[in-house]
Amino acid sequence: MDYSAKISHQVANIPRSGIRDFFELVQGRDDVISLGVGEPDFATPWHIREAAIYSLEKGHTSYTSNLGLLRLRKEISRYVRDFFHIDYTPDSEVLVTVGVSEAIDLALRALLNPGDEVIFHSPCYVSYLPSISLAYGVPVDVPTRKADDFALRASMLEAAITSKSRVLMLNFPTNPTGAVMPLEELEKIAALCIQHDLIVISDEIYCELRYNDGEHVSIASLPGMQERTILLHGFSKAFAMTGFRLGYACAPAPLIEAMMKIHQYAMLCAPITSQAAALEALEHGEAAMTKMRDSYHHRRDYMVGRLNDMGLDCHSPGGAFYVFPDIRKSGLTSKDFAMQLLSAEDVAAVPGDAFGEAGEGFLRCCYATSLEEIKTAMNRMERFVGTL
Ligand code: PLP
């Protein structure tokens, strides 16, 4: 059968993830050090795993409310108040989802009509562009630049706004650049959103992983912004819980209700075992999370130092667990650099163009891997750069 004629045009037209293509080459090769996958090398802290085990032992194996366990939503509301200084009502303004991934999809599908424009900054997380297309939106990307440490410039955003702009997607700290936003620039962006009546989807999944001075500020906490922001957060990164697949959205009740309508039919609810684990993470997980963050901080400093020493210009990103060195001096494209590094030295890092055209000339190296492996990877990379 010719299946190509059976598959939706919308799906056929979205590209496969550039990360996935690259990592299929690495599959099953034990000799390769991977700086590629954006996933903590730590196992989920033991007390959180234990909470999941106890929940199963007690026979808690049912569905939960579509919105998620009320106890968890109350705890999310408490956490968000303490961390972001924003108040959300657990009854109607918090939705527990299957990772931030599901929440992104729900938010876009709840907001967009066909042809609505969605602005996002790039290089960016690989799912944004296809998720917008799958929701029948029109993706409009605004490049960020090394000269700005990959923060989004309000002036660049303003130039991209048209009468069809409906949504702005933000992700700070950013995957893949580790960028954070200066407060003055974030305030200017908030003013533009109010002026042009944009809804913001703010993916703050890396917000705990900040290393420089200054606390994380969510755009939702700025004056006039809570009513027009869907704040997304989850447990995958800071609590090392990728496999639990748990995230959440906080937003005004009508927006959560719209997202919940899709969630209840597509997913019904997030898994109860993961919700029990998430509750434990929020109630007692801070010490373990701080320890992991301190370790990432140390690894970031080491990696940035080594990359600059070997002649690859690399800014020190304020958050997440990625560095984004400039490889343009090598004269190679991102893809050629990554492929040659892999074949010559068995080190895998992701070509920057996998995150959009603005990433060309850069390489994403994830430092959520052991310091020992990072040291070996940097030694190998230095040898490779020396041959160019
Ligand atoms: N958002 C960003 C910016 C990410 O980097 C990732 C994962 O890498 C996700 C969302 C997906 O998160 P989750 O595991 O909660 O679905």
Q: Are residue 279 and residue 221 in the same domain, yes or no?
A: yes
* More confident position, 388 or 229: 229
Q: Are residue 317 and residue 170 in the same domain, yes or no?
A: no
Q: Are residue 160 and residue 265 in the same domain, yes or no?
A: yes
Q: Are residue 278 and residue 293 in the same domain, yes or no?
A: no
The number of domains in the chain is: 2
Mean pLDDT of 146-152: 96
CA of 302 to the centre of ligand 1 (A): 25
Atom of ligand 1 nearest to the CA of 242: 14
Task: State the CATH number of the domain containing residue 292.
Answer: 3.90.1150.10
Where does a domain end: 258, 284, 310?
Answer: 284
Alpha carbons 132 and 135: distance in angstroms, whole number: 5
Task: Residue 66: give the domain boundaries.
Answer: 46-284
Rg (CA), the chain: 21
Q: Are residue 149 and residue 220 in the same domain, yes or no?
A: yes
Q: Are residue 171 and residue 211 in the same domain, yes or no?
A: yes
CA of 376 to the centre of ligand 1 (A): 27
- Ligand 1 pocket mutation, candidates 101, 128, 208, 232, criterion most atoms within 8 A of CB: 101
- Ligand 1 pocket mutation, candidates 100, 126, 322, criterion most atoms within 8 A of CB: 100
CA of 205 to the centre of ligand 1 (A): 7
pLDDT tens-digit profile of 331-353? 999 999 999 999 999 999 999 99
Alpha carbons 287 and 62: distance in angstroms, whole number: 30
pTM for this prediction: 0.96
Where does a domain end: 253, 284, 315?
Answer: 284
Mean pLDDT of 71-94: 98
Where does a domain end: 284, 308, 328?
Answer: 284
CA distances from 62 to 72, 75, 96, 245, 341 (A): 15, 20, 16, 17, 48
For residue 49, the SS3 value is helix
The reported pLDDT for the residue numbered 29 is 80
Q: Are residue 188 and residue 297 in the same domain, yes or no?
A: no
228 Cα distance to chain centroid: 20
- Ligand 1 pocket mutation, candidates 124, 125, 233, criterion most atoms within 8 A of CB: 125
- Ligand 1 pocket mutation, candidates 76, 171, 236, criterion most atoms within 8 A of CB: 236
CA of 15 to the centre of ligand 1 (A): 18
Ligand 1 contacts (CB < 6 A) are 38, 99-101, 125, 171, 175, 203, 205, 234, 236, 242, 247
pLDDT tens-digit profile of 26-49? 777 888 999 988 889 999 999 999
Measured by CA distance, the residue closest to atom 5 of ligand 1 is 175
Cβ density class 224-262: b for 16+ within 10 Å, e for less = ebbebbbbbbbbbbbbbbbebbbbbbbbbeebbebbbeb
